[in-house]
Amino acid sequence: MPRQYQFRTQDGVESVQIAVRGRQVLARPMLNFGPAYTPEQRRALGLVGLLPPAVNTLNEQLKRAYRQFSSQPDALSKYVFLNQLQDLNEILFYRLVAENLDEMLPIIYTPTVGQAIQEFSNTFDRPRGIYLSIDDPDGIDDALGSHGQGEDDVDLIVVTDSEGILGIGDQGVGGIRIAIGKLAVYTTAAGIHPLRAVPVVLDVGTDNLELLNDPGYLGVRHARVRGERYDAFVARFVAKVKEHYPNAMLHWEDFGADNAHRILETYREEHVSFNDDIQGTAAVVAAAALAAVRAKGEKLSEQRIVVYGAGTAGIGIADLMRDIMVSEGLSREQAERRFWGLGSRGLLRSDAPMRAFQQRYARPAEELAGWTSSGRYDLAEVVANVQPTILIGTSAQAGSFTEAIVRDMASHCARPIIMPLSNPTPKAEAVPADLIDWTEGRALIATGSPFAPLEYGGVSYEFAQANNALVFPGIGLGTVAVRATQVTDGMITAAAQAVAEMTSARRPGSPVLPSMRQLRAVSAAVAVRVAQAAEAEGVATRTLANPIQDIYDLMWQPVYPRVEVVDRIEQASSRPQDQTASQGEVADAPGGSDKREGQEAKDGSGRSRARKA
């Protein structure tokens, strides 16, 4: 198929060559600039009469789009509006979100995306992403091929099997929306080009009976497949990704606890892999903990840490914090003894059943023999006996950090660090207002969902949201920048340290993490540190000559490019070496393209940066 359009950047200026005409221009989200097209461009592109006569700038369109967004009656309606805008005019969508991050990030990402996922089959309109069915494993190859990119045209794939979506569990095929939301954050925060990122759902069935009995459900209609058949399907997917997109980072998202750790450990050395629920959550929570203990003039290795909800996320947090403690001088065994994890059966202990990945944090029976305990080993008993300095909640058990538990903790700790991280908000273990009240304003707090500031005792308190968006976009960008062959533990630690260094919690009431308003700057800082860590650990296949400038240059900006109307698109090999390019061929699917021909264009540093639509 002839090439349809091509984005190119030279000397910091982006242009787009367009070889389609009329409605075909407006049908493509990356080409539909709406009334921003000038009269001359409209005549040349066959758009006369297809747009209202007025010419609007991007800023004028932003004002109108924001009014339309604000007029929506509720959060889900705002999500639907933004989703439709993304399918209509992708550049305007990303610019609107970037200009209103505080307000719109909770809409396109957590918590509102959870409701949108639950309503997927009812609100489905235009397909976006790749849907892979366990009932058709042979179709994986065709599906990846149909998306159209060549082997070096994709930097990032976000994939989910939808079993552990946020705090709402198994959502079947609707989980595609968490992958789409993650990629929107990658683009908004870290400038990952939208044409170089692919959302994927592995539809292996669902155990959600409400979905299975919904006549409108769009996924495969049977119970969730597990065991050997599931593993074979995942293995086939990874093999085909390696074949089609050998350099793309696989971001594993919202897999169930039984699979998340196992899949990451199985494939992290085989194909560059990252699990946000394990590694991203760990990095942002570790960043909050580092900033909080520094505010107290202490070290992380001096803390006693209780993790309530020691599943996929909770153990991931403990593992990273353990590694930081080791870097501060503890042995691995000493560091692991600084954690008390509670799962569904209470405290992890040597005489109780648990998953394999939890066993390293099991407390020995001889230790517990000296406890004051009824034998339940619940949270109240653990806090009473451990007297923790840090309390982390990843349990999705609303209100589980009770007044009695918090007051008990605060009675033994001058500045307790308390992190109720479960989201959406109704799942939170506690709310900041209560924590401040119960600790007389002494608590250092990070939460999973956003909470408004409050006044207490004449002090204004701001609450850090331990949102993975502070780390995962920068981890992805840094990994892509140096084309790392792995995402190492050292790279995750570097991300946590970068975020922790961007804030100071020494002033009473100040947050322990940067504001989401700083997200793009935070992502760039994380990317630089991650890239440097990858080079130091020998997993980078590219070297950044000037890391700050090189990272900045890689970050796509949502602005309308200069338009060049052409009859045909030149092949990539004919472009000068200091240009970048994105080419489009497929007429119908947003984000689709045919495989490119010829040699890839390079940027000034020699790094490949070709992008295809």
Catalytic residues: 109, 182
What is the CA 585 to chain-centroid distance, rounded? Answer: 29
Structure tokens that stand for 118 in this block: 């639950």
DSSP 420-447: E--SSGGG-S--HHHHHHHTTT--EEEE
Q: Which residue matches tokens 């109307």?
A: 565
Which helix (H) or strand (E) covers residue 455, if one does? strand 454-456
* Of 155, 86, 144, the residue nearest 610 (C-alpha): 155
Whole-number Å distance between alpha carbons of 97 and 92: 9
Cα torsion angle, 20, 22, 26, 31, sign: positive
DSSP characters for 335-363? HHTTEEEEETTEE-BTTS---GGGGGGPB
3-state secondary structure of 582: strand
The answer to whether 394 touches 312, Cβ cutoff 8 Å, is no
DSSP 480-532: HHTT-S---HHHHHHHHHHHHTT----STT--SS--GGGHHHHHHHHHHHHHH
Residue with tokens 């331990």: 466
Torsion angle, CA of 488/492/494/500, rounded to 10 degrees? Answer: -170
Tokens of 594: 């045919």
Q: Phi/psi class of residue 34: alpha, beta or left (left: φ > 0; alpha: ψ in -120 to 50)?
A: left
The H-assigned helical ranges of 89-216 are 90-99, 101-108, 112-118, 120-123, 139-147, 176-190, 209-212
Phi-psi region of 495 (alpha: psi -120 to 50; beta: other; left: phi over 0): alpha
The answer, yes or no, to whether the previous bond of 424 is cis (omega within 30 of 0) is yes
**Angstrom distance (rounded) from CA 159 to CA 135:** 17
**How many Cα atoms are found within 13 Å in the side-chain-facing hemisphere of 262?**
12
C-alpha atoms less than 13 angstroms from C-alpha of 228 in its C-beta half-sphere: 0
3-state helix, strand, coil in the chain (%, to 5): 45, 15, 40
d(CA 421, CA 397): 10
Q: Coil, strand, or helix at residue 463?
A: coil
| Helix residue ranges, H only, 109-195 | 112-118, 120-123, 139-147, 176-190
Which residue type, as a one-letter code, is found at position 422? S
Q: Are 207 and 213 in contact (CB under 8 A)?
A: no
Question: With contact defined as beta carbons under 8 Å apart, do 419 and 468 qualify?
Answer: no
